Amino acid sequence: MKAAFKMNVTNKTTKLFLEGDEEATAIVYKNYRSLLYFIIATYLNQKEDCDDVYQNVFMKILSKRNEVKDPSSLHSYLCAMAKNEAIDYAKKRSRELNSDLLEDICVVNEESQLDYFLPYDLTKEEKTIVGYRLTFDLPWKEVSELVGIPSATAKYRYAQAIDKIKRSLKR
């Protein structure tokens, strides 16, 4: 990937950047923008989200540049940070969207906290799994223990249930 994006950052500039030099910081910021933006956009769809994550990456690198011991590893460090930040942002965004989805689709039944999904063609197990994840925000390990199935199966059935709900909302 390094060959596809031309980096005009010398070792001297990298060292100065890691020491906190403002001019070197501007050079690194400008030269790595395309590469880091590309990495971030691989995980995110919205330009505004990419912009936010790109800014977060640079704010983090500025606060953690003393962790980079070898100037030649800056490239890898920036790329890994961009990837990790984008993945974290995507996960957070997904949880927010699922929470919004829950608010849109819930029909509260006082007899059972887990019977929210009455208008949807979900099995009792799917309702339970979705309820535990979205309502109570339980980790997969707890969900699988409560339902009595492996975590991978719980995740699979959760994904199926969310797909069913989304399909029925499109009708």
CATH class of 106-170: mainly alpha
Enumerate the domain spans of the chain: 2-94, 106-170
| CA-only gyration radius of the chain, Å | 22
Say whether domain 2-94 belongs to CATH 2.40.30.10: no
The CA distance from 152 to 150, in Å, is: 6
> Under a CB-based contact definition with an 8 Å cutoff, are residues 63 and 55 in contact?
no
The answer to whether the 2-94 and 106-170 domains have the same CATH topology is: no
The confidence score (pLDDT) of residue 155 equals 92
Task: Tell how far CA 72 is from the center of its chain.
Answer: 28
pTM score, whole prediction: 0.55
The confidence score (pLDDT) of residue 102 equals 54
The confidence score (pLDDT) of residue 151 equals 92
Model confidence over 21-54: pLDDT tens digits?
Answer: 899 899 988 888 888 989 999 888 788 888 999 9
- Other Cβ atoms closer than 10 A to 161: 24
3-state secondary structure of 87: helix
Q: Which of the pair, 82 or 45, is modelled with greater confidence? A: 82
